[in-house]
Amino acid sequence: ITDEMGYLSPSPQPSPTKGEVVQREANFEQIHKALLAGLLGNIGFKDGDNDSYAGARGIRFFVAPGSTLKKSRPKWVIAAELVDTTKLYARCVAKIEPDWIEPLARGLTESQYSDPRWDRKMGMVNAWERVSLYGLTIIPKRRVHYGPINPAESREIFIREALANGEFDTRAAFFTANERLIAEVEELEHKARRQDVLVDEPQLFAFYDAKIPADICQAATFEKWREGAEKLNPKLLYLTRDDLMRHGADAITAVQFPEKMLLGGAETALKYRFEPGHVLDGVTATIPLALLNQLDSAPTEWLVPGMLREKLTYLLKVLPKTFRRVCVPLPEFVTSFLEQTKIGEGAIKQVLAAHIQRVTTLKIAVEDWTEETPAHLLMNFSVVDDAGRELAMGRDWNALKKQLGSAAQLTFRNTSPDIEKTGLKQWDFGDLPATLSFERDGIKLTGYPALEDDEDSISVKLFDTKREAAINHRKGVCRLMRFELKEQMKQLEKSLPNFNQYALTLRNIMSPEDLREDMLLAIADRAFIGEDELPRTNADFMKLKARARTRLPAVSQAVARQAQAIATEYQLQTVQQSKMPATVNRLKRDCEQQIGLLVYKGCFSQTPWEQLQHVPRYLKALRLRIEKQPANPDRDGKNAASVGALWQKWQDKINALNLAHLDIPQDLL
């Protein structure tokens, strides 16, 4: 009796009495398994969207129309009989589970194995097994241990993947020692930039194959054998350098490829990698963040001795033919250069250009190298924090300084000796040393103490570069001097000669308040310091104060005259510029650009005193150019193109050296 799902329904059983031997009828699973044992050829699998079933030995059949399973169409069925009429129909059909089939068909099933592979976690070789009965797949994919099935192939996979390729979890000392030795030889390959030092996998396979018995194909049996074998020969499975190297590597020495480089008195770790196209290809120097602003990158242009010859050869090869032809043969020329040059001092292209000119009399400039240098011939820098985490990486030193320079300064200050002070308005903090040396995490650092202008006070700060310290110290001394001479400065602020006149003329450039402060900064810098040496003691500061008091009136008059002259020429130039026709776009663009670089907010304090006196002349020259342009437009265009080329060359030079942030006076640009 079957229900609507095709399962046989057992009849109700009475409850047994005490002491009675119970005899129960079989349930639906037991009955179906019993039937299945004798009807293995009558099973079917629904493998598509149609009504047919795939059967044993390649047949296809349909469930008879009168069957209760016609509509439900289960995945696996068994039929009491198969009747061939208009179609091959299955009659007396019941649903079965595929897991019932294999235990009942022992000896009749066939297994096929695929993708044997090393399983590192389980320590054995596994494969996928597909089980079929009379050509019908009953288990499509099952993971099995492949060792008992194919010991020879399993052993080969075990040796190749687990031992030769290092995919093995073991505490065995030989394995750790071999991995370390392989890493050392691989490092030689990275340093020498060649892939023929370390032996290939077949050689490593042969080493282990010759020592391991034929019946070893998994981790458990290997470890058991190894423990016994190493009692007789402890070094049985240890590789030697001769086992791993195809040839000697005598040229790959610590001198040619050092592990560390000395930069600015600090040792920086070096890492080598030979992988063209990879971001780490070449040699990478690890730079602590606190040292970023202090180090000079010029020595890194020379890379390491083992890579220098390749870089020099490349630089000579990409020179224009005029220069290259006098440097042949290149190997001998490079050797001569290395013998006559002090390696690591100065920028490599400048030193090489000077050598070429000295040897051949041909004048060569750095700009003659127009080809981009391959990445592996440039030092790669990895900037790390105190915890060793990488903050940035790249081969452009100036770009890294621009990105992380401020963070480097903060890191440097946070770990510097207790010298910094804030809220000062007089020199009561003792002498200020020019340099201060200290250690941080074993690294020797040099700081540069200086005053810093906080506007309403000054601070003593420790800077990580001499240049930044000098710039800030000058501003700090000027601010401190303004506190000392506050009565004179207050009177000067109220009585700048003819201030309202030129403030009105320059109102489109800066507000009167900004102009007054800018002029006071320029007056203070010129009157208080000028060409004098910056003070570092209270005594020197007081001497400077005495000189500054006497110079203040004359400097104030001079700055006011310059402001009047600049305002006058600016007004005349602006009037003349307004008369230009709309068609002279290039002239208009040039004038706007150049005026913006001459007269701008802060121009009086940011332009050096020697150059400030030329600004009126520059403005007059612009006005005269506008006046003369209509008479000869072609001449103006031709000269503008020539000057524009020089201007662009200068701008490219500035950008290449990343000097845009170095407070270069705008009029000098």
What distances in angstroms separate CA 403 from CA 98, 196, 299, 378, one per listed residue?
65, 39, 21, 19
Backbone angles phi, psi at 371, to 5 degrees: -75, 140
Could you list the beta-strand ranges (E) of 529-636: none
Cβ atoms 566, 619 nearer than 8 A: yes
pLDDT of residue 249: 61
pLDDT of residue 665: 39
What distances in angstroms separate CA 630 from CA 27, 311, 588, 641, 643, one per listed residue?
112, 53, 13, 17, 19
What distances in angstroms separate CA 8 from CA 15, 94, 261, 356, 407, one per listed residue?
21, 8, 84, 101, 80
Q: Are strands 282-288 and 380-384 parallel, antiparallel or unpaired?
A: parallel
Nearest-5° Cα angle at 446, 445 to 448: 145
What is the 3-class SS of 227-256, one letter each residue?
HHHHHHCCCCCCCCHHHHECCCCCCCCCCC
pLDDT mean values, one per 10 residues, the chain (669 residues)? 44 59 78 90 89 92 89 90 92 92 91 95 95 93 94 94 92 92 82 70 89 93 93 91 70 79 83 89 90 86 90 91 86 91 88 89 84 91 88 91 85 73 88 82 79 91 87 92 89 86 90 92 89 89 89 91 92 86 78 89 91 92 87 84 82 61 39
Backbone angles phi, psi at 78, to 5 degrees: -130, 140
pLDDT of residue 659: 42
pLDDT of residue 669: 36
pLDDT of residue 628: 86
pLDDT of residue 247: 61
pLDDT of residue 1: 34
The 10 Å Cβ neighbour count of residue 614 is 13
This prediction has a pTM of: 0.57
pLDDT of residue 6: 47
Alpha-carbon torsion (44, 47, 50, 55), positive or negative: negative
Q: Could you give the angle at which helices 486-494 and 512-524 cross, rounded to 10 degrees?
A: 140
Cβ atoms 352, 313 nearer than 8 A: no
Cα separation, 400 vs 382, whole angstroms: 9
pLDDT of residue 376: 92
Cα separation, 118 vs 77, whole angstroms: 37
pLDDT of residue 457: 92
Cα separation, 510 vs 503, whole angstroms: 8
Which amino acid is located at 539 in the chain?
A: A
Residue showing tokens 């150049």: 594
Residue showing tokens 């809220």: 423
